[in-house]
Chain A
Amino acid sequence: MSSSGSKTQQIRSLSDLEVVVDTDFHLTERQEDFLPYLDDPFDSLLNRETGGDDYGFLSSLFPSHGMLGPVTIGKVDNPPVRTKRQVLDGKELIEWDRAIVTPTLNLYLGGVHHHELAAALASAYNEWILDEILDPDEGIYGAAVVAPQRPAEMAEEIDDRADEEGIVAIMLPSSICNPIFGDDKYHPIYRAAEDARLPIMMHNAAGATMIRFPSQWQAMKRQLPIHVTAHPMMHMVNIADMLTQGIPERFPDLEFVIQESGLGWYPYFMRRMDHDYRAAKYDAPLLEKMPSEYLADQFYLTSQPVEGDDDPAYLQSVIEAFDGQNNLMFSSDYPHFDFDMSEEILKTIRGNFEVDEVKNIYGETAEDLFAF
């Protein structure tokens, strides 16, 4: 028996673990919770009783996506987490010993149009959690939020918060930034966090990720990050929408061949679609079966560029995870710069798949699909 096997057998429930740490336990903060912690001049500017007509816009200083999510329409009714008491209620449910509380509204901080205000909001949020939420004696730790719009000020913020009891990380809201995070602009944040020995947590805001995408793409100044991300990401965007809009249901005899995106994202994507769809059937009313079933029935994947071709165990598990024995088709991409030689997969998989399965990948599946 392997040592890992015996270790697993010893742990039958959470109570067998010495410690459970929840590394992403969200507050559901509202502006009204942390706006009182704003410093001047924004305190004087915004925390007034009277004056001004904001036409409703400033009820959220953060960009709003307007998506009809399950919370918005009442299908999910989880309690708010805006006080320490409510954090402790969640602790009881999730059964952690320690947690790092992370924000919700402030995940959209990168989209706040007024950059100086964004920096002030980050500081106000941090002051709020230090004053009202964090409590290491109860296992409640926090990540200090920084505004990506103002790295120099945020370096000071990190310096100021690093020694506060309960701050164990920096939260860098990661989806609405411009430019993206490889830019020199962010070095002050990285340097300050490194000096403080605080890890940087990156968390996107799903409802706003695409707002800045054209400019983010423009900001990728080199080929490497574009080439790694563009193919699988664009396929995920398109196929997720096609499934949601019921394209395979509307065109049940139509088949699609997904190309040039590698392998590993695909079994992930199948399961992620199913995972979300189970909680959002109402968003895709045309579907009659699970998204992964449409993918299995009407979609095929071509192989190049095969990642992990030096790792047979990886390739075997990935190919099996989307039934590549029946849905994967060899492709070379010749003469593009990253083309695969014909034996690229073969030499790695031939020991792990049946003869018929290898034949399928190398030609039989294509013979059937394309009806030569």
Chain B
Amino acid sequence: MPDDEPAGADADAGVEEGNTDGADRGTAAEGLDDVDPDQLRPVIASGELEDGDRVIAEIDGREIAVFRVNGELYALLNYCTHQGGPVCEGLLSGTLGMDEDGTFTWDREGKVIACPWHGWEFDITDGYHLASERYRIPTYPVTERDGQIYVVL
């Protein structure tokens, strides 16, 4: 991934903003090119976050997790909107779906985080609970430049 191409989430536009306490959906990749440098918060050196790994950092008083999955970066608050569990410390895997023939499928591998307290599943690409858009983990724009990963606050 080029250093100047930020890896935001690719959620569909038009979905209403949830109650995300100031978080951004991270959808507008182009929006990160001219981000105010004062908003960049260093998280980890690029080389220290392998594909499939995550890092949880305390940034401005918030625990924020950054995941690298299939070359893309995603940043979410490590706080479950259900009962406050450390959602980003849970199992990162996929989830069961079903195709039109009624056959189980394994979907979204590497993009579903399950809160270790109660198992609520969220899509790390947009923070939304898999079952209900009423629930969402705040997400943050994340960018990688000059060998360093930053989230934007």
On chain A, the residues within 8 Å of B35 by CB distance are none
Chain A contact patch, size range = 10 to 19
Q: With A74-B91, A286-B98 in contact, do A281 and B116 touch (Cβ < 8 Å)? A: no
Pair A278/B95 contact, Cβ less than 8 Å: no
Contacts of B90 in A (CB 8 A): 75-77
Q: Are A290 and B114 in contact (CB under 8 A)?
A: no
Most buried by A among B89, B118, B130: B118
A278 pairs with B132, CB closer than 8 A: yes
**A278 touches which of B91, B116, B129 (Cβ 8 Å):** B129
A70 neighbours in B (Cβ, 8 Å): 114, 118-119
Q: Does B91 lie within 8 Å of A285, measured CB to CB?
A: no
Q: Which of chain A's residues has its CB closest to B132's CB?
A: A290
Cα distance A278–B104 in the bound complex, in angstroms? 19
Instruction: Give Cα A75 to B82, complex, Å.
Output: 15
Residues of A within 8 A of B97 (CB): 285
Q: Check B114–A76 contact: CB distance below 8 A.
A: yes
A-side interface mostly: loop
Is there an interface contact between A75 and B104, defined as CB atoms closer than 8 Å?
A: no
Report B104 CB to chain A, min CB distance, Å. Answer: 7
**Is B144's beta carbon under 8 Å from chain A?**
no
Given A70-B118, A74-B91, A287-B131, 10 more contacts at CB 8 Å? A75-B90, A76-B90, A76-B114, A76-B116, A76-B118, A280-B119, A281-B130, A282-B95, A285-B95, A286-B98
User: Does B20 have its Cβ within 8 Å of any Cβ on chain A?
Assistant: no
Q: Given contacts A278-B131, A290-B132, are A285 and B119 in contact (CB under 8 A)?
A: no
Chain A residues with CB under 8 Å of chain B are 70-71, 74-78, 246, 277-283, 285-287, 290
Contacts of A246 in B (CB 8 A): 98
Q: Is B148 an interface residue (CB 8 A)?
A: no
Contacts of A78 in B (CB 8 A): 116-117
Q: Is B74 an interface residue (CB 8 A)?
A: no
**A284 to chain B: closest residue by CB:** B131
Most buried by B among A74, A278, A282: A282
Known: A278-B135, A285-B96, A286-B98. A77 touches B116 (CB 8 A): yes
User: Max chain A CB contacts within 10 Å: which of B90, B104, B121?
Assistant: B121
Distance of B94 from chain A, by nearest CB (Å) = 9
| Minimum CB–CB distance for B119 against chain A, Å | 3
Contact of B121 among A71, A77, A282, A287 (CB under 8 A): A282
CA distance A282 to B93 in the complex (A): 12
Q: Which of B90, B116, B130 has the most CB of A within 10 A?
A: B116
**Counting CB contacts under 8 A, is B120 at the interface?**
yes
C-alpha gap A75/B115 in the complex (Å)? 7
Contact across chains for A76 and B96 when beta carbons are under 8 A apart: no
How far apart are B137's CB and chain A's nearest CB, in angstroms? 14
C-alpha gap A285/B118 in the complex (Å)? 18
B136 to nearest A CB, angstroms? 13
Q: B121 to A281, Cβ gap below 8 A?
A: yes
Q: Are B82 and A278 in contact (CB under 8 A)?
A: yes
